[in-house]
Amino acid sequence: MQNNVAVGLGEIKISDDPDTVLVAFGLGSCVGIGFYDPIKKVGGMLHAVLPSSLTGRDESPAKYVDSGIPLLMSQLKDKGLVVNRSKLFLIGGANILISNNDSTPFDIGTRNVKSAEEVLEKLKLKPDAKDTGGHNGRTFRLYIGEGRATIRTMGEKEKDI
């Protein structure tokens, strides 16, 4: 029996339970970063809200892409994940917020994706699967027992990535 574990705004969740499905519901401008080690069968997900922490001293580093990715990797390494054999997923970053005075998006989604790509590039990592941008929210699932990931874009069916 599958156990859905919600990964909320600014949260990281890690699991090695084969019945667990990590889920980031409704990723709009937020980004979901997922890692999965097929040998160790451990995975984790970050649900980052903003591209970077201005002070670097925020009490919620998972809220930010630039501090959340290294924190996710650190926690996963503590559970035995080996980064260079792991699958990496980058999901979300839609531009769905419109300002009140014109039709220009706030562009938070684009900035979140750019920040994630920059952090991953510095770490010499490339996503194995990426589904970003656009104007619709997504739900991102990571199935720990199967080692697969899915997305469901608003108004569409769930699909493997």
Q: Single out the residue of 78, 4, 2 nearest to residue 35, CA to CA.
A: 78
HSE-up of residue 12 (Cα within 13 Å, Cβ side): 22
Reply yes or no on whether 50 is catalytic.
no
In the chain, the largest separation of any two C-alpha atoms, in whole Å, equals: 51
Choose, from 30, 33, 90, 144, the residue flagged as catalytic.
Answer: 30
Catalytically annotated residues: 30
